[in-house]
Amino acid sequence: MAFATLQYQGEQRVAIKHDDAWTLLPASMGDMVTLIEGGAAALELARKMATASGAQRIAASQARLLAPITRYRRDILCTGWNYWDHFEEGKGKREGQDVPAPVAPTFFTKGPDTVIGPYDDIAYDATVSAKWDYEAEMAVVIGRTGRSIPVERAMEHVWGYCLANDISQRDLQRRHGGQWLKGKSIDGTMPLGPWIVPADEIDPAGVHLECVVNGAVLQSASTRLMAFPVAELIAELSFGMTLRAGDVLLTGTPSGVGNAREPQIFLHDGDEVVVRGSGLGELRNRLKACDLRGGSGVKLAV
């Protein structure tokens, strides 16, 4: 059973997927974050309502699929270098910003204005960056608020899983001292979704990720290869820091990114990028040229 956010008759509604149809939850139940905050009781009620007589069911063509979470209290939480093959493929290609292999997870954030729907166009402006890269990732949706969560209890804090494409601007990533916020936070560039599958229906170590660019498979790996599994990520990230229900945590990307290839592969206007995850569906997006620079006087090195 998968939970999505739809635009239907001018309103955002939470819905449950049924093949090529949706069952709408009552508007009184609120948005996806409200559902998540309701915990196990709200999830069980939603599941019952989906199969109840009189439930409102619509065809997929009647609504637009949005990112499953559209309301954020904080930045998107992210993990870097969480597949050793990805860490290794980047050696010597970080423009003087190489570091030793991490002994603990590497975290960063990206702004919530990056988030777009699973089939929306990715904003693209070649004057903002010359190095647009793709990153297929599994995302964790936090379901229970907590701080300093023990690793053995960490999975109790997971509500579900979805997919993300952590589109990155590698030149901006290098430009700002080696920290990643700026090179990961361009507006309208991170597809999320297409829906959230509850935690009890997915093995987070058994998802096979793929990234396909213009029909060519460029990333293909199992989440079983993560350097730090989901429970460790949650325990480390929550150490002294509160994670809240509705937070989204990206868990890293495997090898095959464009920046590490020889020759390098970067994205351009019109390219189609598909991110797939077994049991989680797929994101299908196309880069579309738009004006992200505006009147900025920032000058980038060529």
Number of H helices and E strands in the chain, helices first, is 5, 21
199 vs 91, residue with greater confidence = 199
Q: Where residue 19 falls among pLDDT bands split at 50, 70, 90?
A: confident
With a pLDDT cut of 90, the percent of the chain lying above it is 86
pLDDT tens profile 227-285:
999 999 999 999 999 999 999 999 999 999 999 999 999 999 999 999 999 999 999 99
Task: Tell me the residue ranges of DSSP E strands in 93-149.
Answer: 106-110, 115-116, 122-124, 132-133, 136-142, 146-147
Query: Residue 219: enclosing H or E segment and its boundaries?
Result: strand 216-222
Q: Where residue 91 falls among pLDDT bands split at 50, 70, 90?
A: confident
Kindly write down the DSSP assignment for every residue of 253-277, as one continuous string.
--S--GGGSSS-----TT-EEEEEE
With a pLDDT cut of 70, the percent of the chain lying above it is 97
Residue 92: burial class (beta carbons within 10 Å; 0-12, 13-18, 19+): exposed
CA-nearest of 217, 195, 302, 222 to 265 is 217
Residue 43: burial class (beta carbons within 10 Å; 0-12, 13-18, 19+): buried
Predicted TM-score (pTM) of the model is 0.96
45 pLDDT more than 60: yes
pLDDT at residue 39 in the model:
97
pLDDT at residue 96 in the model:
61
Q: Where are the alpha helices (DSSP H) in the chain?
A: 32-37, 39-51, 84-89, 170-175, 230-237
What number is the average pLDDT over the span 18-32? 93
pLDDT at residue 220 in the model:
98
Q: How far apart are CA 302 and CA 300, in angstroms?
A: 6
